C-alpha cells in the first residue's frame, strides 16, 4: 500500500497520472479536461466504450462516476501524507448516452476547509460527490453519488 | 437499438456473448462460471485490473456488479422479444480485493414467475439483484444492488 509515486508528481503531471496510472482506466480512453484545487472535470469517449446496441456501456459510466474522487483528491490534498478510499458508488441511469460523456466534481471552499481541518485533527475525513453525467448536448444521462474517505497513509 | 443477435444465440453460446459482445467488458477478462435459468455466476480476474496499489480497481468491481443482470436476462427470458435495461447500480466497498473476485446472482422461481407474468400482461417488469462480491477465500469485498427493467423490444 506504499506506492507514493503520485505524491511526488508535479501538478502538471497529475492529469496524465489520472488517465494512465490504472490500466483499467487507461483502457477506457478517459481524458481529464481540467484539474485544480477543489475541481475536476473528465470526459469519457463513446468510441471503444459502446455496448452491443451502440450506446455507452453502463459499466464505463460507473467508472466515470468513480474517477473524479481520486482526481479531486490529487489536485486538492497532500498525496505524500494521505490516501483516498472509495467507500461507495451509486449511479442512476437516466437515458442512453449516444455521445462522449463528461462529469464535473467540485468541493466548495468550506467543504475543502472542513476536510483539511479534520485531516489535521483526526487524520481522516469523509466527503461525498454528487454529480451529473452529461452528453455533448448537456443532457443528463446519469446521476452519481460517490462516498470517499481520505486518511493518513501507512 | 435493434440488434437482436443475442436473441438468436444458442444457449451454449451465451457465456461467450456475455464475455465478449461488449468491448469494455471483454477488456476486463471477465469469465462466466455458470449461466442457467435464474442463475448466473461470473469471475473477474485481478490480473490486468489492478489499481496503482495492486488491488482490484473499484471501477472494475462496479462493472462486475452490473454484468449479472444482463447474463441472468439472457439465460432466463426471451431475448428475441425483450431487452434488459439497467436503471441503477450501487456498490459499497468493504475491503480491498487482492485476488480474483466472483459474483453470483439468482432469481427465485417465484421472482422469475412474477417477471414472466408481468412481461405477459404489461410488456415490462422490474427486478433487483442484491449480491456479494467475494474474493477467492470467500471474504466479501463489496456489496452490490442493481435495478433492472425488462421490456418489449422495439
Collect all residues with Cβ–Cβ distance below 8 Å to A110 and sequence separation of at least 6.
none
Beta bridge partners of A126: A149
Which DSSP helix (H) or strand (E) runs through B151?
strand B140-152
B39 and chain A: CB distance < 8 Å anywhere? no
Of B22, B59, B85, the CB nearest to A63: B59
State residue B4's pLDDT score: 52
Rounded to an integer, the average pLDDT of B55-68 is 98
Instruction: Give chain A's mean pLDDT.
Output: 94
Residue-level pLDDT at B10: 84
More confident residue, B140 or A4: B140
Give yes or no for residue A154 having a pLDDT over 90. Answer: no
Residue of B nearest to A90 (CA): B90
Q: Mark yes or no for CB contact A59/B25 under 8 Å.
A: yes
pLDDT at B154 (0 to 100): 76
Q: B59 contacts in A (CB within 8 Å)?
A: 22, 24-25, 59, 62-63, 66-67
Query: What average pLDDT does the segment B23-43 reach?
Result: 97
pLDDT for position A10: 84
From the list B66, B85, B93, the residue facing A86 with the nearest CB is B93
Q: Among all residues of chain B, which has the CA nearest to that of A22?
A: B51
> Is it the case that residue B88 has pLDDT exceeding 80?
yes
Cα B127 vs. chain centroid, distance in angstroms?
Answer: 13
Q: Region of A72 please: left (phi>0), alpha (psi -120 to 50) or beta.
A: alpha
C-alpha cell at A19: 488517465
Set of chain B residues whose Cβ sits within 8 Å of the Cβ of A6:
52
- Measured distance CA(B96)–CA(B42) in Å, rounded: 19
For A102-154, where are the alpha helices, taking DSSP H only? 109-122
**What ipTM was predicted for this assembly?**
0.94
Give the residue from chain A lying closest to B149, CA to CA: A93
Q: Does B52 touch chain A (CB under 8 A)?
A: yes
Is the pLDDT confidence value at A2 over 50? no
Crossing angle of the two packed helices A58-76 and B58-76, in degrees rounded to 10: 170
B63 and A63 in contact by Cβ < 8 A?
yes
| pLDDT value for A11 | 83
Question: Is the per-residue pLDDT at A1 higher than 50?
Answer: no
Collect all residues of chain B within an 8 Å Cβ-Cβ radius of residue A92: 87-88
* Per-residue pLDDT tens over the stretch A77-133: 999 999 999 999 999 999 999 999 999 999 999 999 999 999 999 999 999 999 999
Is B59 within 8 Å of A67 when comparing Cβ atoms?
A: yes
State residue B2's pLDDT score: 40
Of A52, A67, A85, the CB nearest to B3: A52
Separation CA A140–CA A137 (nearest Å): 9
Q: What is the pLDDT of residues A44-89, one digit of tens each?
A: 999 999 998 999 999 999 999 999 999 999 999 999 999 999 999 9
Report percent pLDDT > 90 for chain B: 90
d(CA B105, CA B130): 8
Q: How high is the pLDDT of residue B27?
A: 98
Residue A28 forms contact with B (CB below 8 Å): yes
Q: C-alpha cell of B153?
A: 423490444
C-alpha distance from A29 to closest chain B C-alpha (Å) = 11
- Contact: A88, B87; criterion CB under 8 Å: no
Say if residues B143 and B130 touch (Cβ distance below 8 Å): yes
Amino acid at each position: 500500500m506504499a506506492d507514493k509515486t503520485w505524491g511526488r508528481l508535479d501538478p502538471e503531471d497529475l492529469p496524465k497520472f489520472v488517465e494512465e496510472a490504472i490500466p483499467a482506466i487507461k483502457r477506457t480512453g478517459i481524458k481529464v479536461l481540467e484539474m485544480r484545487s477543489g475541481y475536476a472535470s473528465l470526459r469519457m469517449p463513446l468510441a471503444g466504450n459502446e455496448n452491443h446496441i451502440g450506446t455507452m456501456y453502463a459499466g464505463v459510466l460507473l467508472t466515470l462516476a468513480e474517477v473524479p474522487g481520486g482526481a479531486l483528491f490529487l489536485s486538492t490534498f497532500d498525496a505524500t501524507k494521505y490516501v483516498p478510499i472509495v467507500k461507495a458508488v451509486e449511479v442512476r441511469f437516466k437515458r442512453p448516452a449516444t455521445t462522449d460523456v463528461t462529469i464535473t466534481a467540485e468541493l466548495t471552499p468550506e467543504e475543502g476547509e472542513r476536510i483539511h481541518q479534520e485531516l489535521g485533527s483526526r487524520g481522516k475525513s469523509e466527503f461525498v460527490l454528487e454529480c451529473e453525467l452529461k452528453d455533448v448536448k448537456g443532457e443528463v444521462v446519469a446521476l452519481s453519488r460517490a462516498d470517499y474517505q481520505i486518511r493518513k497513509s501507512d
